[in-house]
Amino acid sequence: MNRPRVLLTGATGFIARALIPRLLDQADVTLLLLEEFGSGAPLPATVRAVRSRVDAVYADLRNYQLTARAVRQARPDRVIHLAAVGVDDPFLSVSTALSHNVSGTINLLRACFEADGLDVQQLITARTPGERSAMNVYAASKAAAWAFGEMYARTAGWPIHGAMIYQTYGPEQPPNFFIPSALRAARAGEEFPMTTGTQEKDWIHVDDVVGGFLATLGADLPPGETVELGCGRSVSLLAVAHQLYDLTGKGGRPRPGALPSRPGEEPQQIADAERTAALIGWRAGISLNDGLARLVNSPGG
């Protein structure tokens, strides 16, 4: 059987760095990279590491013509859309969120499914559980983008699927995220200023997120369906911070309440793991205890 051709956006991001090596085991991969990388700008180290094993096309998703050209060049069977802005800055400007996350997604959808001569059998777009309350600019823009994807899926039958990614962590996560920030303070034996930390999240290791994407790829799902990539359990931020301090054993402590909470933040997020298992036959396999221990013991954590 021929290997599928998969086009991946957001190739320089945290999840893509873990996904690409495993995706290459079962597919021919083309990365959709920003135009600047096609004009001589240095590639990030993580992309350079796999560049000899992947193809690349170049575009700015905010530009429909450039996006359509790149998709025609790649001629993918399947597409994984990870590109977004605001993951680490949820209160970014509205204009930036709309142009990248909404217009960029719509341009990609149209480029995949309206062009003659293409046969894209599936497009998986990354979603966030924050879309449900949409209490910050990033989440609201992602919710708007999905509304268009769902509309096209249900009215035109385009094979668009969502992968709702819960609270991901793992090696080489950007340092301004919660777990890397807390771990850095714990390793230094310093206090860690934080919010009250009562918010409960469904924490999922990035290796499990990759497994969820691979299980969704090629799955027999109706257009417009979303699978939720999480463990189905929630643990508070404060409990996670305390666990990191216990694992490092360097002294110091979390300081809950030292920082204000974000307005409108949901008190609890939990993936419907049972429904995901029924849809794609996949469950997360790395417990939070094991995942945090791996991270603490990893030099790159």
Q: Over the stretch 51-74, which tens digit does the pLDDT of each residue have?
A: 999 999 999 999 999 999 999 999
| pLDDT given for residue 133 in this prediction | 93
Rounded distance, CA 88 to CA 200, Å? 18
CATH number of 1-165: 3.40.50.720
Q: What is the CATH number of domain 166-205+231-270+285-301?
A: 3.90.25.10
DSSP code for 102: I
- Round to whole Å and give the CA distance between 166 and 144: 18
What are the Cα distances from residue 212, in Å, to 155, 258, 280?
A: 27, 36, 8
Inform me whether the pLDDT recorded for 36 exceeds 90.
no
Structure tokens at 153: 């899926």
Cα(120)–Cα(49) distance, rounded to whole angstroms? 27
How far apart, in whole angstroms, are the C-alpha atoms of residue 239 and residue 289? 11
pLDDT over 90 at 44, yes or no? no
Contacts of 120 (CB under 8 A, 6+ apart): 71, 76, 77, 78, 79, 112, 113, 159
Task: Work out the pLDDT band at 216, boundaries 50, 70, 90.
Answer: very high
Q: For the chain, where are the alpha helices, taking DSSP H only?
A: 14-23, 35-38, 45-48, 64-74, 94-97, 104-113, 137-156, 178-188, 206-216, 237-248, 273-280, 288-297
Top mean-pLDDT range of 13-17, 33-37, 87-91: 13-17
Contact 245, 169 (CB under 8 A): no
Taking every pair of Cα atoms in the chain, the longest distance, rounded to a whole number of angstroms, is 62
Tens digit of each residue's pLDDT (9 = 90 or more) over 130-183: 999 999 999 999 999 999 999 999 999 999 999 999 999 999 999 999 999 999
Q: What is the pLDDT of residues 220-229, one digit of tens each?
A: 999 999 999 9
Residue pair 212/124 in contact (Cβ under 8 Å)? The answer is no
pLDDT tens-digit map of 89-134: 898 999 999 999 999 999 999 999 999 999 999 999 999 999 999 9
Encode pLDDT of 182-206 as tens digits: 999 999 999 999 999 999 999 999 9
Average pLDDT of span 17-35? 96
Q: Where in the chain is the domain with CATH 3.40.50.720?
A: 1-165
201 in the Ramachandran plot: left (φ > 0), alpha (ψ -120 to 50) or beta?
Answer: beta
Which pLDDT score, from 0 to 100, does residue 34 have?
92
> Does pLDDT of 1 surpass 60?
no
* Residue-level pLDDT at 38: 79
Lowest mean pLDDT among 207-211, 249-253, 295-299: 295-299
* 299 pLDDT higher than 80: no
For position 234, what pLDDT does the model report?
Answer: 98
Global pTM reads 0.96
Mean pLDDT of 14-32: 97
Q: How far is CA 255 from CA 88, 182, 252, 290, 296, in A?
A: 22, 11, 9, 24, 20
**CB contact at 8 A, 88 and 174:** yes
pLDDT at 238: 98
245 within 8 A of 254, measured Cβ to Cβ: yes
- Give CA angle at 271 (266, 277), nearest 5°: 170
Give the distance from CA 143 to its chain's centroid: 14
Q: What is the pLDDT of residue 301?
A: 60
Instruction: Specify the amino acid at residue 260.
Output: P
| Segments of the chain assigned to CATH 3.90.25.10 | 166-205+231-270+285-301
Q: Hey, what amino acid is at 299?
A: P
Q: Each residue of 123-151: b (16+ CB within 10 Å) or e?
A: bbbbbbbbbeebebbbbbbbbbbbebbbe
